[in-house]
Amino acid sequence: MDFTIDWYFLIEKLLLISAVLGISLLVAMYSTWGERKVAAWIQDRRGPNRAGIFGLLQPLADGGKLFFKEEIIPSHANRFLFVLGPSLAMLTACLTSAVIPWGDSLTIGDRIVSLQIADINIGVLWIMAVVGMGVYGIMIGGWASNNKFSLLAACRGASQVISYELPMGLALIALFMLSGSLSLKDIVEQQREGVWYIVLQPIGFLIFLICAFAECNRTPFDLPEAENELNGGYHLEYSSMKLGFYLFAEYINMFISSVLMATLYFGGYAFPYMDSLGLDGNMLTILGIVALFIKTFFFIFVFMWVRWTIPRFRYDQLMKLGWKILIPLALLNMLVTGAVVLFRQYGI
Amino acid sequence: MGIDMIIFTVLSAIAIAAALGVILSKNPVNSVLCMITCFVAIAGHYIMLNAQFLFVVHLIVYTGAIMVLFLFVLMMMNLNADIEPQKRNWLKYAGAISGGALLLVLVAALRDASLPAIQEGGKTDIGLVSNLGKTLFTSYVVPFELSSVLFLSAMVGAVVIGKK
């Protein structure tokens, strides 16, 4: 074996990874601004409007404030784990974006550049694996704070994420029965030629949407952060930028969940009649990216809309919804989908 | 030394160091974290063998589910590490003797075993999802279904115990 490295390939992937990470962080940053504007709009207020035009510099001001605040590590906390917690939360939030197809391929010179970091044939399973590991950020942070409220909130958060992973996986299995592939790229290409999977899997999408809310710890499932009983949740003892990391990871998760919903059920970068427009490849790819981001921003808006509309569940209601309603519904959805797929293959 | 060999060496070093950390660290929570690192490194080896499905299932089941349960239990138990009772001496001797006996058996078994020649890694496609699924549901469908019945009975058992 010899050392031949395709330098163009390496540079291309490095650029792509930096671009994806940068855009994720930028979108997450402006989601905080968007969240406050949407909240203001729903509550008939103005929202942030002092820093910059329309308050557009507000996220920078917030970030600057978090950086310059005093960092406090509780005296009985495990220092290493206390720092590891928010870092893990941030890491797992960023890992998922590797398998998402952000667009079709661009042709630069005589090279075809695919706008997906890794087209592995286990794409969706990789997302499930990363979501499963996202629990560690919450649990380690909550435990290392050496505070009973943090620990309680961490246990709540972890059991919530584990409980809602199951219906999410079951809803995805029904989708795979139709697509026959675990690669996100294949799933998007199938929707480009046929119909969007929301038409074939409406119940599956609904289950996925509810589980995405629970996985991101967003209202109505924000029990890990229930202020009135837990004083602020698993990040109770955190201050300065470590707190910022936890809050920021939540917004990145929200962005990635929105991209996933758009990709799996709403055609990803494909949009109707895209192949009959008669445009050349590169133009079509750019339009596709725009289409993906429009869909994504819509879902981010849905996340915020729900947050400022619906109150929080009680914990037993949360568990009942997950285990007694969503899992049986997802199993039924899987059974019916399987029966229909078999029927269409073999007849009666 | 090819790039495969470098990755293999690095992954193995991480796995062994993490495995040592599991038994050597005093704090059980650190042990669990070392074990998670070890599992992730082993999952990397699966990728080197082109077994992508095994890789991701290993991550989902072991690091994502089982180790979280370990962590749950330990975090609840270890709140008062200072007043935990010390282990008795005879327990340590018993552990050392049984561990040594296991080592002896393993060495004896390995001495006579004829190991098949190790194949060149990364050349087989059996680890990809579609190939593995087809094999499991055609050639090995009876053992596969039997093991799923086993899992079902374990689940029913857990529910029965939980109801008590």
The answer to the question of residue B158 being in a domain is: yes
Percent of chain A with pLDDT over 90: 18
Cβ contacts of residue A233 below 8 Å, gap of 6+? Answer: A149, A150, A153, A157, A224, A225, A226, A227
Between the two ends of chain B, the Cα-to-Cα distance in Å is 59
ipTM at complex level: 0.80
Domain boundary among B18, B53, B83: B83
Taking all residues of chain A, what is their mean pLDDT, rounded to a whole number?
Answer: 86
The answer to the question of residue B114 being in a domain is: no
Are B77 and B130 within one domain?
A: no
Q: Is the peptide bond before A220 cis (omega within 30 degrees of 0)?
A: yes
The answer to the question of residue B120 being in a domain is: no
Percent of chain A with pLDDT over 70: 97
Q: Specify the range with the lowest mean pLDDT, choosing from A67-81, A187-201, B74-88.
A: B74-88
Q: What is the largest CA-CA distance in chain A?
A: 70
- Taking 80 as the threshold, does the pLDDT of residue A245 lie above it? yes
Which pLDDT score is estimated for A3? Answer: 58
Are B78 and B1 within one domain?
A: yes
Percent of chain B with pLDDT over 90: 30
Q: CA B26, CA A80: separation in Å to the nearest integer?
A: 15
A95-102 average pLDDT score: 86
A120-149 average pLDDT score: 84
Residue of A nearest to B71 (CA): A139
For residues A98 and A330, the model is more confident at A330
Domain boundary among B83, B111, B137: B83
A139 vs B contacts (CB less than 8 Å): 68, 71-72, 75
The token pair at A253 is 């998760």
- Taking 90 as the threshold, does the pLDDT of residue B98 lie above it? yes
The answer to the question of residue B111 being in a domain is: no
Q: B53 and A162: CB-CB below 8 Å?
A: no
Residue of B nearest to A146 (CA): B79
Range of the domain at B20: 1-83
CATH number of residue B60's parent domain: 1.20.120.1200
The token pair at B102 is 């296991």
Q: A135 and B64: CB-CB below 8 Å?
A: yes
Which pLDDT score is estimated for A293? Answer: 92
Band the pLDDT of B119: cuts 50, 70, 90.
Answer: low
Cβ count near A310 (within 10 Å)? 12
Are B1 and B64 within one domain?
A: yes
Band the pLDDT of B101: cuts 50, 70, 90.
Answer: very high
Are B68 and B142 within one domain?
A: no
Which pLDDT score is estimated for B1? Answer: 62
- Taking 70 as the threshold, does the pLDDT of residue B117 lie above it? no
Q: A2 and B2: CB-CB below 8 Å?
A: yes
CA distances from B23 to A84, A139, A294, B44, B81 (A): 21, 22, 51, 22, 17
Taking all residues of chain B, what is their mean pLDDT, rounded to a whole number?
Answer: 84
Are B72 and B18 within one domain?
A: yes
The answer to the question of residue B150 being in a domain is: yes
B120 vs A contacts (CB less than 8 Å): none
H or E element at residue A268? none
pTM for this one? 0.86
Q: Specify the range with the lowest mean pLDDT, choosing from A10-24, A242-256, A295-309, B126-140.
A: B126-140
For residues A168 and A236, the model is more confident at A168
Out of A131, A143, A182, closest to residue B75 by CB: A143
The answer to the question of residue B153 being in a domain is: yes
- Taking 50 as the threshold, does the pLDDT of residue B12 lie above it? yes
Q: A122 and B64: CB-CB below 8 Å?
A: no
**How many folded domains does chain B comprise?**
2
The token pair at A318 is 């949360």
Cβ count near A3 (within 10 Å)? 8
The token pair at A265 is 């059920």
Are B73 and B131 within one domain?
A: no
- Taking 60 as the threshold, does the pLDDT of residue A2 lie above it? no
- Taking 70 as the threshold, does the pLDDT of residue B81 lie above it? no
The residues spanned by each domain of chain A are 7-346
Out of A126, A140, A158, closest to residue B56 by CB: A126
- Taking 70 as the threshold, does the pLDDT of residue B120 lie above it? no
Q: CA A300, CA A310: separation in Å to the nearest integer?
A: 16
The answer to the question of residue B45 being in a domain is: yes
- Asked if the C-beta of A121 comes within 8 angstroms of chain B's C-beta atoms, the answer is yes
A319-340 average pLDDT score: 92
Out of A125, A136, A158, closest to residue B60 by CB: A125
Which pLDDT score is estimated for A1? Answer: 44
